[in-house]
Chain A
Amino acid sequence: MPGESVPARVEQVYREESRRILATLIRLLGDFDLAEEALHEAFFVAVERWQRDGVPDNPRAWLVSTGRFKAIDALRRRARFVAAQPLLIAQLEALEQADWSAEDVEDDRLRLIFTCCHPALAADAQVPLTLREVCDLTTEEIARAFLSAPATIAQRIVRAKAKIRDAKIPYQVPTLKELPERLDSVLRVIYLVFNEGYSASIGAEVTREDLTREAIRLGRLLLELLPEPEVLGLLALMLLHESRRLARTSASGELIVLDEQDRSLWDAGMIAEGCALVERALTLQRFGPYCLQAAIAAVHAEASAPQATDWPQIVGLYDLLLRMVPSPVIELNRAAAISQRDGPLAGLTLVEAILDRGELLDYHLAHSARAQFYRQLGRVEEARAAYGRALELTQQVPERRFLEARIKALG
């Protein structure tokens, strides 16, 4: 109804619909900046017009349409300088309302995600561009989350938009042939956002909820639009990690390792959802590394206590994962699982073999794993030296406090 509630209604529509409207305007206009400008002008007009005429039946279509006319005006102003504009103006004027039906709008959101995560864009620009355009985080918010200067983030976004325009990166969902490589890139961006939130690489905060929340939201959106097995796997993996957030740190901010966590603090809702997604993904057969990592997390989540964990199953899943993506970090995780199944000496032998090959020498978790096996074997001096090496290699404050506490406990 017209009246006082209109500004609140406009704000609600902005929150719920602005990214969809932006995605459609980008498709129609073929230009990120022009689309953003048109979006904001459309909402600006809505406040006044809806006050006077009432809120339209389909606010989204009204806003896309108004944004389009605003863009035509802007292009007319520019047309005096650029010869190619009249053609675009004519195309825009000929568009039918049908071009922004509900289905098209959902496709537009998917197009926007694939464009922002295009592998031809600089790796350090894909994440900020996605957070800016798909999640509507401000440049300042992104800079704060990644501990960078807003000017740096802004520059990366500007460069990425310039490349999209000048190299003509198309605004479309990839073809089946391109999909595997392109989907990898989207999943990597989402997982990077999640990990940045889950374990900050520098600084005192272990988790930054807003980033993990955005990553999970992106995962849900992608799943809704493209139910591929690895999309299921990634969302499951993020939910299962996130379910342990409350149990991961003590009240004073100390890091708590998995087998010392209070499992009653784990979020049962997220675990149930994560496990169901893993099951669904594994029946699809084209599952990949994200599904396997999620399956490992699910086995942990289903154990009521550390000693109830099905270690043989976890080792088996790591074997599969290692065959799919050979990596020393996965070998290290597998060594930890083997030590649980066969004892610390078995784990130690595997970790030493990795280090002897010259791999993971500068990775603090390799040294803290080795330290833990020495400790369990009662080899105190070697444990102390290995914890010391791990400490030299990490800047993360909670990790450092954890390692210092372990060294102190050795006596």
Chain B
Amino acid sequence: MKYLCLVYSNEQALHSLPDSPKDAECMAYAESIQGSGRMVAAEALESVQTATTVRMRNGKMSITDGPFAETKEQLAGFYLIDAKDLNEAIQVAGDIPAARVGCVEVRPVRQLNP
């Protein structure tokens, strides 16, 4: 069984609270679950301001700025992909079969700076 653990937070406050984790702590934790054999993939995401939402309807792609935010639909899965830039990532996202009925939010993975 695989689980996807999604971290939700107020991104304005995430790095500024007294109890906010530092990147080094996050990396150490990732290494510890890696060591226990339970890690598949884990990444921090860039801010939602960098998000792009892709939909495919009747073979025509629509691209909009911003995160996916329609509360009547829920997160149904994820693909962690490797693409050379946002255009390539959008092409891959548009070809995900579920993009025809739902939408795919494309978020760049943030490099940690310990």
Contacts and interface: CB of A to CB of B under 8 A. Distances in A.
A119 B90 CA distance: 11
B87 A122 contact: no
Interface in A322-342: none
B34 interface: no
A163 B50 contact: yes
B82 interface: no
Given A120-B90, A174-B87, A178-B87, A167 B52 contact: yes
Contacts, number: 53
Contact of A169 (B51, B60, B66, B85): B85
A9 to B, nearest CB: 39
Contacts of B62: 119, 181
Contacts of B60: 181
B32 interface: no
B85 A159 contact: no
B86 A168 contact: yes
B84 to A, nearest CB: 8
Contacts of B86: 120, 167-170
Interface in A124-180: 125, 159, 162-163, 166-170, 172, 174, 177-178
Interface string B44-82: 001101111000000011111110000000000000000
A170 B85 contact: yes
A120 B64 CA distance: 5
Given A163-B49, A163-B65, A168-B86, 15 more contacts: A119-B64, A120-B64, A120-B86, A121-B65, A122-B66, A125-B65, A162-B49, A167-B50, A167-B86, A167-B106, A167-B108, A170-B85, A170-B87, A178-B87, A181-B60
Contact of A166 (B47, B61, B64, B66): B47
Nearest to B113: A83
B77 to A, nearest CB: 21
B82 to A, nearest CB: 12
Name the residue among B47, B65, B90, B108 with the largest chain A CB count within 10 angstroms.
B65
A177 B60 CA distance: 11
A323 to B, nearest CB: 16
Contacts of B84: 170
Contacts of B85: 168-170
Name the residue among B47, B51, B52 with the largest chain A CB count within 10 angstroms.
B52
Nearest to B63: A119
B87 A166 contact: no
A202 interface: no
A125 B60 CA distance: 23
Contacts of A95: none
A159 B87 contact: no
> Is the interface on chain B under 10, 10 to 19, 20 to 34, or 35 or more residues?
20 to 34
Given A159-B49, A178-B91, A122 B65 contact: yes
Nearest to B90: A120
Interface string B82-112: 0011110011000000000000001010000
Q: Is the interface of B mostly helix, strand, loop or mixed?
A: mixed
Nearest to B84: A170
A117 to B, nearest CB: 12
23 contacts: A119-B62, A119-B65, A120-B86, A121-B65, A122-B65, A122-B66, A123-B64, A125-B65, A163-B49, A166-B108, A167-B50, A167-B86, A167-B108, A168-B86, A169-B86, A170-B86, A170-B87, A172-B87, A177-B91, A178-B91, A181-B61, A181-B62, A181-B63
Contact of B63 (A120, A125, A166, A172): A120
Nearest to B60: A181
Interface string A165-207: 0111110101001100100000000000000000000000000
A201 to B, nearest CB: 22
Contacts of A166: 46-47, 49-50, 108
Contacts of A174: 87
Nearest to B51: A167
Nearest to A171: B85
A162 B90 CA distance: 18
Interface in A371-396: none
Contact of B52 (A120, A159, A172, A177): A120
A162 to B, nearest CB: 7
B49 A169 contact: no
Contacts of A123: 64-65
A83 to B, nearest CB: 9
Contacts of A169: 85-87
Contacts of A122: 65-66
B95 to A, nearest CB: 11
